[in-house]
């Protein structure tokens, strides 16, 4: 009886060990999410900047997995730590990317000719947003620490022009 009990215990232990080793599935082919690029941006760099410092070309490696549709939009958001609202001083057209990997360049403009915008400004970070095709959902947001000097110290700041009121407007 002791021999039978010992033998059954050994067989049970051996069976559990083999079951955990043999029972694990082995993936030999990529599944639906393997082998596809992840959505994001790497290797961000400034490839050129205008002489007056108002335009810069950002070049980056992009990957898109197709989660938000057949194409996505990539747009930079220029930021300065501790200063909210500076993003409105910059503009860029979004770049469209398809599923896969691509090298893209986006031209960013600094609007230092607008009222209230300093003629020269230095930013310390930027964020690259990957949006769905309609621009209604953020698929990815990648922050970068990148110092960029914008504008020119010789540029004159734009002054707000005051327009005199007419008498009819003052009475209303």
Residue with the larger pLDDT of the pair 92 and 161: 92
Which single residue is written with the structure tokens 């080793």? Answer: 21
Looking at the DSSP bridge assignments, the partners of residue 138 are: 131
Q: Which CATH superfamily is domain 40-151 in?
A: Immunoglobulins (2.60.40.10)
What pLDDT is stored for residue 164 in this prediction? 65
Closest by CA to 150, choosing from 75, 70, 80, is 80
Query: 125-137: b or e for each residue (b if 16 or more CB lie within 10 Å)?
Result: ebebbbbeeeeee
| Domain map (residue ranges) of the chain | 40-151
Enter the DSSP assignment of 18: H
Query: Please, are residues 24 and 7 in contact by the beta-carbon 8 Å criterion?
Result: no
- pLDDT classification of 100: cutoffs 50, 70, 90: very high
Provide mean pLDDT across the span 40-66. 93
Q: 69-98 pLDDT, tens per residue?
A: 999 999 999 999 989 889 999 999 999 999
In this predicted model, what pLDDT tens digit does every residue of 6-51 receive, in sequence order? 666 765 665 655 555 555 554 444 444 455 568 889 999 999 999 9
Q: What is the pLDDT of residues 130-141, one digit of tens each?
A: 999 999 999 999
Q: Please, is 140 exposed, middle or buried when counting C-beta atoms within 10 Å of its C-beta (0-12, 13-18, 19+)? A: buried
pLDDT at 59 over 90: yes
pLDDT at 30: 47
Q: Which of 20, 27, 46, 18 is nearest to 123 (CA)?
A: 46
Do 123 and 148 form a contact (C-beta atoms < 8 A)?
A: yes
Q: What whole-number distance in Å separates Cα of residue 102 and Cα of residue 150?
A: 27
Query: Does the global pTM surpass 0.85?
Result: no
Q: How confident is the model at residue 154 (pLDDT cuts 50, 70, 90)?
A: confident
Average pLDDT over residues 55-69: 93
For residue 20, the cross-strand partners are none
List 74's β-bridge partners, or say none: 95, 130
């Amino acid at each position: 009886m002791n021999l039978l009990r010992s033998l059954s215990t050994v067989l049970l232990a051996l069976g559990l060990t083999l079951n955990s080793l043999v029972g694990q599935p082995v993936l030999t082919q990529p599944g639906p999410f393997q082998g596809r690029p992840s959505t994001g941006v790497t290797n961000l760099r400034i490839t050129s900047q205008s002489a007056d410092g108002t335009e810069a070309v950002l070049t980056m490696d992009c990957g898109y997995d197709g989660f938000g549709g057949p194409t996505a939009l990539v747009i930079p958001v220029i930021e300065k730590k501790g200063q909210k609202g500076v993003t409105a001083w910059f503009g860029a057209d979004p770049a469209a990317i398809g599923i896969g990997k691509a090298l893209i360049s986006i031209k960013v403009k600094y609007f230092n000719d607008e009222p209230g915008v300093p003629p020269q400004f230095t930013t310390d970070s930027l964020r690259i947003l990957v949006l769905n095709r309609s621009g209604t959902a953020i698929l990815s947001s990648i922050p970068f620490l990148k110092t960029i000097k914008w504008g020119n110290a010789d540029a004159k700041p734009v002054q707000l022009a005051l327009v005199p009121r007419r008498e009819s407007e003052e009475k209303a």
